[in-house]
Structure 1
Amino acid sequence: MLLCAVEKGSLSAAARNLQIPVSTLTRSVNDLEELIGTKLLVRTTRKLTLTEPGAEYVSAARRILEQVDEQERHAAGEFIAPRGELVVTTPVQVARLRVLPVISQFLEFHPDIRIKLLQSDRNVDLVDARADVAVRIGRLRDSSMIATQVGSLRVVCVASPAFLKKHGTPQSPKDLHATPCVVFDSPYLSPWRFRGNAKGHTATLELVPRLLVSSPDAAADAAIESVGATMLLEHDVANAVKARQLTCILREFEVEPVPVHLVHVSRNMMALKVRRFIDFAVPKLREALSDLGQMDR
């Protein structure tokens, strides 16, 4: 009950999820705090906050549940034959353009496996989401994960030919301050970054966007309609560049391509379904990402 309350953010939301009265849930949490002899939650009218002992308790409880879940799956035969539910988390656009075709092919070969695909442009914690595999864009910060690089993606600045004819082609990143821009609010694209003068140096550019959007498709479409220049990952604009609807600009200032990894949490025993998916997906994703290499060259 405590874990549900933490995940849902409030006792009332957790009670609805568990289909029990709020008073019952509150009493259970109070009893647990009394049993342990310390405060686990700080409750306000708007949210729950874990105390330091509460955070440690919840972390330990999750690890225990993970071990129990692993043993249950082992008993169910997931370590003998590839079966059961596989949870994959990935950025939205990567899922649509690269991961879904791989998943479709994988499911054809493994009729006893079900896949739950979690799509989010924010990095999902694998343990909290009880996910098996994640596709991550950008540098990895969590060294506890096992990661396999499947490719990389250029970060490109683009604009429509009509827009460039009207506003001129920027010759340096600083020129963008005087240029209407469409910004996709993304953890791996905000703020805009460019290669600096010094080797290995990266400069960031804080812009006041003419248009701020929450999806790469919207940014690409707005750029095609000459609303402004935009910065996206290459696979978001590959088709538009090939069709000459968009033109890559400031090429000499592009940062190094961002890596794309397939990651999973280290476990003593990995379910066979996870091993099979990783073995299948890694070469497929590498092939799909390598196809972008000649986008505008």
Structure 2
Amino acid sequence: MSRYQEMAVFAAVAQAGSLAAAARQLDLSAATVMRSVAALEARLNTSLLLRSPRGVALSPAGETFAASCQQVLQAVLDAERSVLGLHSDPAGQLTLSAPLLMTPQVLLPITLAYLDTFPEVQVVSQARDGMPRLLEDGIDIALVVGPLPDSSGFAIPVGTVRPILCGSPAYLARHGRPATPDDLRQHRTVAWTSAGYVTAWRFCHGQAVQWFKPTPVLSCTTQQAAIRAAVAGLGLTRCLNHEVHRELQDGLLETVLDDFAPERLPVHLIYREGRRATVRVRTFLDFAVPRLRTHPALNG
């Protein structure tokens, strides 16, 4: 087999999770598939599959190589479509990444409208906070919040978000609205912490910066849980405005201390290939960018 054929066989095994299933998918014998994978492992001098009586699984090297194989095979398919004049019709898999609470509040409705317009595309949506690794994680486009590192690839600015403090109308009716960050000492707070400790909240007023270290009545390991507790009236919570966009629109939460909010954070769509990007990537960018730039969660 050629190297391309070996990669295609291995990619099928990785996707199917079984040598036999991959053989059926490719219309090859199981022995042929086994020989192809063995030849590939010998040439690379590494184990790509972990074999056991229960079947096979990808080794760490196999997971990395499978992602690379998928990218190479898709690039070849895109090149063939381009030569055949099919490049104007996007098709195939598009992998998107966005922060956990950005996906349902902002990106999902845009993605559904894109799929309705381009039905031959299949989208894989990943929710992850922090800066994604596009190449290593096989991500085509990522929606990211915050400053970008130099290695982030091509970036398109689509808006900004802001840190806010909010509580439910029922809580504010019972406990009043704080007028300054110092007033928070008299309030109940709900905090989100993924590191096991609660960080201080930063407030700005003109050139002055003030910090408040909450002693929360409830600490949650997810931002979503802290927001739900705030909606239930337990206390005030700190988050980014897009994370509670729907709750603010529906009147379930109200912001406080807006005059003391820190600076806004930039939001970008990042991708890898620039002008050489596939038609799936280009059409999604063309579709999503104007909609994101007018979305109230990224401009409010």
In the other structure, the counterpart of 1:93 is 101
Does residue 183 of structure 1 match 2:221? no
The whole-number CA distance in structure 2 between the counterparts of 1:83 and 1:31 is 34
Q: TM-score, normalised by structure 2?
A: 0.65
- Partner deviation per Cα, 1:77-98 (whole Å, 9 max, x = no partner): 452x122135141334333232
In the other structure, the counterpart of 1:172 is 181
- Partner deviation per Cα, 1:167-194 (whole Å, 9 max, x = no partner): 87384379569843142759xxx85652
The whole-number CA distance in structure 2 between the counterparts of 1:213 and 1:282 is 32
Does residue 258 of structure 1 match 2:265? yes
In the other structure, the counterpart of 1:154 is 162
- Partner deviation per Cα, 1:124-158 (whole Å, 9 max, x = no partner): 54334544322222222253511111111112111
CA contact (8 A) 1:135 1:260 kept: yes
- Partner deviation per Cα, 1:98-131 (whole Å, 9 max, x = no partner): 22332343344x4453241413133554334544
In the other structure, the counterpart of 1:71 is 79
In the other structure, the counterpart of 1:103 is 111
Among candidates 256, 263, 276, match of residue 269 of structure 1: 276
Give the aligned residue type for 1:266. Answer: E
Does residue 141 of structure 1 match 2:136? no
The whole-number CA distance in structure 2 between the counterparts of 1:176 and 1:69 is 61
Question: SS state of the match for residue 121, structure 2?
Answer: strand
The whole-number CA distance in structure 1 between the counterparts of 2:228 and 2:158 is 28
In the other structure, the counterpart of 1:233 is 240
Q: Which runs of 5+ in 1 are unaligned?
A: none
Among candidates 87, 91, 100, match of residue 84 of structure 1: 91
Question: SS state of the match for residue 126, structure 1?
Answer: coil
The whole-number CA distance in structure 2 between the counterparts of 1:193 and 1:73 is 52
The whole-number CA distance in structure 1 between the counterparts of 2:84 and 2:212 is 51
Give the aligned residue type for 1:269. Answer: R
Give the aligned residue type for 1:221. Answer: R
**For this pair of structures, how many residues does the alignment match?**
279
Closer/same/farther in 2, CA of residues 121 and 68 from structure 1, 3 Å limit: same
Does residue 246 of structure 1 match 2:246? no
CA RMSD of aligned residues (A): 4.9
Identity %: 22
Closer/same/farther in 2, CA of residues 142 and 28 from structure 1, 3 Å limit: farther
Q: What is the Cα deviation at residue 229 of structure 1? A: 1.8
Closer/same/farther in 2, CA of residues 124 and 229 from structure 1, 3 Å limit: same
The whole-number CA distance in structure 2 between the counterparts of 1:204 and 1:2 is 54
Q: What is the Cα deviation at residue 227 of structure 1? A: 1.8
Closer/same/farther in 2, CA of residues 242 and 47 from structure 1, 3 Å limit: closer
In the other structure, the counterpart of 2:6 is none
The whole-number CA distance in structure 2 between the counterparts of 1:16 and 1:258 is 50
Question: SS state of the match for residue 127, structure 1?
Answer: coil
Q: Which runs of 5+ in 2 are unaligned?
A: 1-8, 25-31
Does residue 119 of structure 1 match 2:126? yes
Give the aligned residue type for 1:90. Answer: S
Give the aligned residue type for 2:279. Answer: L
CA contact (8 A) 2:190 2:219 kept: yes
- Partner deviation per Cα, 1:185-241 (whole Å, 9 max, x = no partner): 59xxx856524689597969586661415353x433310222222122213334544
Q: What is the Cα deviation at residue 27 of structure 1? A: 9.1
Give the aligned residue type for 1:136. Answer: V
Question: SS state of the match for residue 276, structure 1?
Answer: helix
